[in-house]
Amino acid sequence: MILGLGIDLVEVTRIERALARFGPRFLSRILCEKELAYCQSQSAPAKSVASRFAAKEAVSKAFGTGIGAELGWKNIEVVRLASGQPSVELHGAGVDLLKSRGGRKVHLSITHTGGHAAAVAVIED
């Protein structure tokens, strides 16, 4: 059964502006260490950051909380499976929230073009 569904769309230029203005401080606020390493290894880091930003927003919307007091940026980590498929690892408050909602798994799909990144998250019991 589906317990929650979230979607988000991010303009890559918005992330580029945040990177130009805040640099490492912005990245360290929203990305976990492995996410940061992955994004920095890409030829177009802003697209990868935008994808993860959208994914975290989509997950927070699926929970119905948004990013804030109940669920923070680093409670949600986007990882790549061996197949290349994106997946979600929850940490701290994210794990607690999933358990409290009776959830078992968070499914994630990410896409991006030159100008936009989008993500859809589904919480399953």
Whole-model pTM? Answer: 0.96
Q: How far apart are CA 19 and CA 60, in angstroms?
A: 22
Coarse DSSP helix, strand, coil percentages of the chain, rounded to the nearest 5 percent: 45, 30, 25
Per residue in 44-91, pLDDT (tens digit) is: 999 999 999 999 999 999 999 999 999 999 999 999 999 999 999 999
Average pLDDT over the chain, rounded to an integer? 97
What does CATH list as the number for 2-124? 3.90.470.20
Catalytic residues: 61, 112
* Residue 114 clears pLDDT 90, i.e. is over it: no
Tokens encoding 95: 């794990």
DSSP letter (8 states) at residue 92: T
DSSP letter (8 states) at residue 102: T
- For the chain, the domains span 2-124
